[in-house]
Structure 1
Amino acid sequence: MNYLLLAASYLLGAVPFGLVIGKLAGKDVRKEGSKNIGATNVSRLLGKKLGFVTLICDCLKGYLPMLMAATLLENEPNVNLMVALCGIAAVLGHMFPIYLGFKGGKGVATGLGVFLYLSPLAILISLGVFAGSVALSGFVSVGSLLSSALMVIWLWLLGQSKITMMTAAIVAALIWLKHHENIGRLLKGEEKSWKKK
């Protein structure tokens, strides 16, 4: 059962909703803009409405596997660990989807779904950090990096378990790793700002 849940979590996380939505709208989001399949690029190319739909779909990819594991393994002694692993598997699926030759998105929205399951209150705090940092810096990547990194601190302050904090730390680390190109551009002053057309 545990292996099946992990496999299902990965396969659901690997579904490229941004690409599917883009195809339905007549664009291959891998060939334009940042060439990323995530909500930010979909929003940039196809408008905020489709970007929002992509965000919700990608977010659910992180949330639903954890909910599924918690429900099916409710009475199992290792339920919390398996729930955490299913969330991480979903994020890995989004970042390295088998359907696209393991070339996927940066995991922010799917990570958001994982964080939402771990602690809705911590998400509210991090969303404030995200909005503020994006507004001040002009870079969505800065907001994504800061809000994901600070999740562990919010969870610690809220008294969450070690498994919960470790899950958040792993997801945040994966998000930072997938943003290595953005970090390089930020350091060189070459990152694209949402304030500039």
Structure 2
Amino acid sequence: MPPSLITLLVVLAAYLLGSISFALVASRLFGLADPRTYGSKNPGATNVLRSGHKGAAIFTLFGDAAKGWLAVFLVSRYSSEYALGSYAVGWVALAVFFGHLYPVFLRFKGGKGVATAAGVLLAINPWLGLATLGTWILVAFTLRYSSLAALVAAAAAPAYALLIWGGDSRVLVVGIIAMALVGKHWQNLQRLMAGSEPKIGAGKSR
């Protein structure tokens, strides 16, 4: 099979993997309501936490992060064996990430991508992932706004990538992911400015 065809199939597989919503999987496993029916109506870990079930939120967080990490790790591990080319990792990173944002299984209405982006960045470069994740944790636990933490981490990620790689093409991949994260959190930014954004741990009533 030609390497170009293998690359195309791998990218498609990454998109389908990204389209799996662990928020819905967790909600069904733990007998919770569909996360698209309460809170922010976003199928993500922060909104699942609003159900009051921390276990389901943790399952969602790790599931969404793991799919991003797994897709990038596998293509990084086997790209040379199948002659996929130097750009395969970048394409797969974007495919699994945008699969989460626009999942075919949920009529292209997915989550906001924070956990999946974290998994992708950790697989691309552990130091980049840890620095970005550390930024999110610092803001989230200090100010208790998940959306603000995501926006600050998204802004910081390309800067960290530049420090690590300089002008490498991987910086562009990180930049695209960062811009998509900011775009997905635009309404959150408006609510933050208006003082109406719920904090981490707020219940359904918020």
Paired residue total = 197
Shift in CA distance, 196/92, structure 1 to aligned 2, threshold 3 Å:
closer
| Alignment RMSD | 1.9
Q: Aligned residue for 2:171?
A: 165
Q: TM-score by structure 1 length? A: 0.91
Instruction: Choose from 83, 104, 122 the match for 1:98.
Output: 104
Q: Report the alpha carbon displacement of residue 123 of structure 1 after superposing the two structures with TM.
A: 2.3
Asked whether the 8 Å contact 2:102–2:110 carries over to 1, the reply is yes
Percent same amino acid at aligned positions? 33
Whether 1:131 aligns to 2:134 is no
- The answer to whether the 8 A contact 2:30-2:56 is kept is no
CA deviation digits over 1:16-70, x for unaligned, max 9? Answer: 1111210222221110122111111112214222211111110112111112222
In structure 2, the residue corresponding to 1:80 is in which secondary structure? coil
Shift in Å, 1:178: 0.9
Code of the residue aligned with 2:111 in structure 1: it is G
In the alignment, the residues of structure 2 paired with residue 46 and residue 195 of structure 1 have an alpha-carbon distance, to the nearest angstrom, of 8
| Corresponding residue number in structure 2 for 1:2 | 7
1:91 to partner: Cα distance: 0.8
2:176 alignment partner AA: I
Q: What does the per-residue CA deviation read over 1:150-194, in whole Å, with 9 as the maximum and x for residues that have no partner?
A: 011112222366122111111111111111111111122211122
Equivalent of 1:14 in 6, 16, 19: 19
Q: Which runs of 5+ in 1 are unaligned?
A: none
Q: CA deviation at 1:79?
A: 3.0
* Cα distance between partner residues in 1 of 2:30 and 2:83: 46
> Does residue 1:111 correspond to 2:152, yes or no?
no
Does residue 152 of structure 1 match 2:158? Answer: yes
Q: CA deviation at 1:75?
A: 4.7
User: 5+ unaligned residues in a row in structure 2: which ranges?
Assistant: 1-5
TM-score, length of structure 2 as denominator length: 0.88
Q: Are 1:70 and 2:76 counterparts?
A: yes
TM superposition shift of 1:136: 3.2
Over 3 Å counting, the alpha-carbon distance change for 1:135 and 1:56 in structure 2 is: closer
**Aligned equivalents of 1:41, 1:11: Cα separation in 2:** 23
